[in-house]
Structure 1
Amino acid sequence: MTAPTAHRAGLCADRVVAVTGAGRGLGRAHALAFAAEGARVVVNDLGVGPDGGGGSGGPAREVVEEIVAAGGEAVVHGGDITTAEGAASLVATALDAFGRLDTLVNNAGFLRDRMLVNLDEDDWDAVMRVHLRGHFLPLKHAAAHWRAETKEGRPPAARVVNTSSGAGLLGSVGQGNYAAAKAGIVALTLVAAAELGRYGVHVNALAPAARTRMTERTFAEAMAAPGAGEFDAMAPANVSPLVVWLGSAASEGVTGRVFEAEAGRITVMEGWRRGPTDDRGARRSPAEAGETVRRLLADAEEPGRVYGAS
């Protein structure tokens, strides 16, 4: 364990933040933004391709070098956070390098897009593994650490920021595996916020829109870079300020929420709520149930449009 460093300036001064998938795209932007606000950062990344293939330690090292060159502190974590060992070592790396862990940003992921009739089990399992299991395991091990700290009389001001997607909130044609995993992350966030509040842990989720390797081809037109001197609405760095605030002690009292972040826009998402209802106090026939549904739908709000739907 390293000796404590001098007090640092910024919204996250002296906080220790672990960011998964931080070698490129949104994760890289988050890691740099946290460091700029005084955090010490654990940069996790396997350096895999857009579909999860291959691997290299280069991207994570480059982010750490960039942070250090700017006067910050950061270390590489090259473990696979979709395994129990890798997730546990993420927490251990933070403790060994900096003596604590304050914030976990779950961001790692990749795509294997297929229409449902062409989507095989391996592509389903791989995407579920990196997105959903890759959120669950780091969250589990970080939460166990924070619970232990609370029991030892050191209650943390801990924060978790999970990464969902508009695909998980509305659906996305050709991304059944990805959309299902991202919807699962929202449910996991709600459960974690309810369970971990007693230990001083706030858990929120983000549905970002930005230009990354996962979006620049799928949504090429929308993600195109602007002309010189124009605001780059799809730059990943536009999303990071909200992530940094949610990962700071300043977000006290904000938990169990889902946000959209895109360009200069932040939206509080309002999920499933009870809409029009009819309780007759007795069992209906199938035909009567259908009549009731038709009547209720006439008074209900239209659902959001699935991405890519015609």
Structure 2
Amino acid sequence: MSGILQGKVALVTGAGHGIGRGHALELAKQGAKVVVNDLGGSAKGEGSGRVAEEVCEIIRARGGEAVPDFGDVGDEAQVEAMVQRAIDSFGRLDILVNNAGIVRDKAIWNMGADDFDLVMRVHLRGTWLTCRAAARYWRERAKAEGGKVYGRIINTTSGAGLLGNFGQSNYATAKAATVGLTLTLSVELASIGVTVNAVGPGGLTRLSAGDKALKEADQYAEDEWEPLGPKVSSPLVAWLASEEAGYVSGQVIRAIRDKIYWMHGWTEARTISNGNKPWKAEELGKRFGTEVFGVRAAGLSLGG
């Protein structure tokens, strides 16, 4: 295979189904050698399986190179082994795509602490562990080679993490935190040449539509383009992983249907000043109402 990632080595987590599967196939299509990671469990994080091997077989049948990895992204030792598998199999690691995830959706009053902890373990701890393992590898290479290295990290966020979503206080928290991690790592790893970005994909997968959508989602990831299919964001991921995108870091970009959105996060929308005097709580209501939120006309009393 030839393409914009010719000769590069990528590790994609959660690549057995849906969005991760689409990423692995697209990276391979663009010439990358791929470590296909997937524990093989259910959408709720239960059990394990060998689905990563199925994706590798597809890649090999299309002329690419891939090896499976069945490790748990939340386990420190298994994450270290993932990175080592890329090095042992293909000589190095150039690209890390963090996609592994599960859902345990419930309104907060019904959500158990274990539902929160497990979702955070997979999405956030898992992303942090893989980023750390890759960062340590690239930093050692940079020190040994006396300069910058080729390194790309693409993390996965979501609309729930950026905007909030009912019933997903665990998932949304993890995805919002992934953005914070992305922004921080883009600063920490800049000096050694590594870029770090986050992609917010849109599409129906087993996480968003349930296991009944699994077969259909995987089909779209392999063979067809579907506006709500799971591979809509995969070309964006491949481009961010390429040489051409070396100037892009610390960004959040969403891909939904046929549109790509460059996101701007928390910015100073409006500022009020108290003239170098301390604020008084009883005065803030009127100032916020008239000068910040604009929900009161000037001159109205707090009770008006």
TM-score (normalised: structure 1): 0.88
Q: Secondary structure of 1:117's partner?
A: coil
Q: Which residue of 2 aligns with 1:303?
A: none
Q: Distance in 1 between matches of 2:239 and 2:163?
A: 25
2:81 corresponds to 1:89: yes
Gaps (5+ residues) in structure 1?
1-7, 301-310
Give the drift of 1:283: 1.0
**Do the aligned residues in 1 keep the contact of 2:15 with 2:21 (CA within 8 Å)?**
yes
Over the matched positions of the two proteins, sequence identity in percent amounts to 44
Q: CA RMSD in A?
A: 2.0
**Match for residue 289 of structure 1 among 284, 287, 291:** 284
2:152 corresponds to 1:152: no
Q: Which residue of 2 aligns with 1:50?
A: 43
2:60 corresponds to 1:63: no
Q: Secondary structure of 1:266's partner?
A: strand
Evaluate the alpha carbon distance shift between residue 240 and residue 231 of structure 1 in structure 2; reply closer, same or farther with a 3 A threshold.
Answer: closer
Give the drift of 1:217: 4.1
**Match for residue 113 of structure 2 among 89, 96, 121:** 121
Q: Which residue of 2 aligns with 1:247?
A: 241
Q: Secondary structure of 1:215's partner?
A: helix
CA displacement 1:14-60 (0-9 Å, x = unmatched): 00000000000000000000000100000000110010011101x10
2:169 corresponds to 1:172: no
**Match for residue 272 of structure 2 among 258, 275, 278:** 278
Q: Distance in 2 between matches of 1:41 and 1:296?
A: 54
Letter in 2 for 1:268: W
Q: Distance in 2 between matches of 1:24 and 1:294?
A: 48
**Do the aligned residues in 2 keep the contact of 1:276 with 1:299 (CA within 8 Å)?**
no
Letter in 1 for 2:58: E
CA displacement 1:188-246 (0-9 Å, x = unmatched): 0000001100011000001111111011249x9xx9999xxx96211112210000001
Query: Greater CA deviation, 156-165 or 290-299?
Result: 290-299
Q: Secondary structure of 1:12's partner?
A: coil
Q: Distance in 1 between matches of 2:13 and 2:40?
A: 11
Q: Distance in 1 between matches of 2:169 and 2:250?
A: 25
Letter in 2 for 1:298: F
Letter in 1 for 2:251: R
Q: Which residue of 2 aligns with 1:15?
A: 8
**Match for residue 261 of structure 1 among 255, 262, 279:** 255
Q: Secondary structure of 1:214's partner?
A: helix
Query: Greater CA deviation, 284-293 or 260-269?
Result: 284-293
Q: Distance in 2 between matches of 1:296 and 1:191?
A: 33
Letter in 2 for 1:135: T
**Match for residue 101 of structure 1 among 87, 93, 104:** 93
Q: Distance in 2 between matches of 1:151 and 1:217?
A: 46
Give the drift of 1:296: 3.3
Letter in 2 for 1:142: A
**Match for residue 233 of structure 1 among 216, 219, 227:** 227
CA displacement 1:134-158 (0-9 Å, x = unmatched): 1000000100000011101163221
Q: Distance in 2 between matches of 1:159 and 1:250?
A: 12
TM-score (normalised: structure 2): 0.90
Q: How many residues align?
A: 286
CA displacement 1:238-261 (0-9 Å, x = unmatched): 210000001111101100000110
Q: Distance in 2 between matches of 1:131 and 1:97?
A: 26
Gaps (5+ residues) in structure 2?
296-304
